Amino acid sequence: MKEEKDYIRDITEIRSMMERSSKFRLLSGWAGITAGILALIGAFVAYYILDFNPGEELQISGITPLNSLVVKVLLLATVVLISAIATAFYFSYRKASERGEKIWTPITRRLLTSMFVPMVVGGILIIALLMNGLIGLAAPLTLIFYGLGLFSAGSHTLAEVRFLGLVEIVLGLAATFMVDYSLFIWAVGFGIAHIVYGIYIYIKYEK
Amino acid sequence: MIPTEGLHKAFESRVRLGIMSALAVNDMLDFNSLKDYLDITDGNLASHIKALEKEKFIGVEKSFVGKKPNTRYFMTSTGKKAFKSHLDALEKFLESNRKH
């Protein structure tokens, strides 16, 4: 016959199993911090070195052909995106091996699916807009669709991710009204917000 | 006092409790995912799954991923009911103990 402490352990086990099998717990605060720094570097390079200003681009004629500057900024954005994703994977992978867990589980697949559906839709839409010369809306839309991705992925991982998603969506919507400042707002959303989120996650769960 | 009402014998094993908990929050899980979550051997897991299947607490769905057979498990409504009453009984038991 089981005793009281056995039943208490049963309950602990049930709770931990439900948590483990329904939430992705391998997110690292460092991934957020690194992504934020990369985004800030990207925005800095775009503004000061490539001399890119989406507001100006939009004001000159409303429609900008896909010139070499836009292509350079696109390449830069792609490099930033890929390195941010790669570092996030690296930190999750490291956390998984520290805990002796596998990274590729059904919950990881669910997390990635709910994250990437809005992001791929947004990505294709942005490419279409760029090809039609609507450069000014690209930065706000990356914020909005990234935010939607985080918001839907948030139900499979830390609640903070959902909140970060909302922050990105609000910033993105604000940027559509203030295209002049959209690069700056982009830097706040992808840079500052990520760093603040990363530090918060690190202090709350990893320290 | 140890309650027996609502507690199901099938859930006395912690592995079976683990299987039910994982299936309670996932629509379907395949054998390997369950194995990873529970960290036990194939044979051990298979025998516990068989026991739960016999009680009709979990169901099996067999399909193919490419040429590989893929077996996935889900919780039946009988299983859901039994698991819920087991949890309720645990809760009641711990509550009554706290009062004493």
Dihedrals φ, ψ of B62, to 5°? -100, 135
Q: Contacts of residue A1 in chain B, CB cutoff 8 Å?
A: 2
Task: Give the CATH architecture of domain B12-99.
Answer: Orthogonal Bundle (1.10)
At residue A196, the pLDDT reads 98
- Sequence letter at residue A196: V
B25/chain A closest Cα distance in angstroms: 6
Give mean pLDDT, residues B66-88: 91
Q: Contacts of residue B24 in chain A, CB cutoff 8 Å?
A: 18
A161/chain B closest Cα distance in angstroms: 20
Residue B67: DSSP 8-state: T
Distance CA A187, CA A170 (A): 14
Q: Contacts of residue A22 in chain B, CB cutoff 8 Å?
A: 25-26
CB contact under 8 A, B22 and A4: no
Which of A149-153, B69-73, B75-79 has the least mean pLDDT? B69-73
Q: Which stretches of chain A sit within 8 Å of chain B by CB?
A: 1-4, 7-11, 13-15, 17-18, 20-22, 101-102, 105-107
B22: nearest CB among A9, A11, A21:
A21
The alpha-helical segments, DSSP class H, found in chain A are 4-22, 29-44, 54-61, 68-99, 106-131, 138-153, 159-177, 182-186, 193-201
Query: Where along chain A do its domains lie?
Result: 26-202
- Which parts of chain A have pLDDT scores under 50? 60-61
CB contact under 8 A, A4 and B36: no
Distance CA A11, CA B86 (A): 11
Q: Which residue has the tokens 């911090």?
A: A33
At residue A56, the pLDDT reads 64
**Chain segment A89-138, per-residue pLDDT in tens:** 999 999 999 888 888 888 899 999 999 999 999 999 999 988 888 888 88
- Which tokens sit at A147? 């935010």
Establish, for the pair of chains A and B, how many residue pairs have beta carbons separated by less than 8 Å: 57
At residue A102, the pLDDT reads 82
The residue in chain B having the minimum alpha-carbon distance to the alpha carbon of residue A102 is B36
Residue from A2, A3, A6, A7 to probe the interface with B (highest B Cβ count within 10 Å): A7
At residue B3, the pLDDT reads 54
At residue A103, the pLDDT reads 87
Residue B64 above 60 pLDDT?
yes
Q: Closest Cα to residue A165, out of A182, A184, A190, A183?
A: A190
**CA angle A32-A147-A199, nearest 5°?**
20
At residue A62, the pLDDT reads 55
CB contact under 8 A, B2 and A22: no
**Chain segment B19-63, per-residue pLDDT in tens:** 999 999 998 999 988 998 888 999 999 999 999 999 999 999 998
Q: Contacts of residue B90 in chain A, CB cutoff 8 Å?
A: 7, 10-11
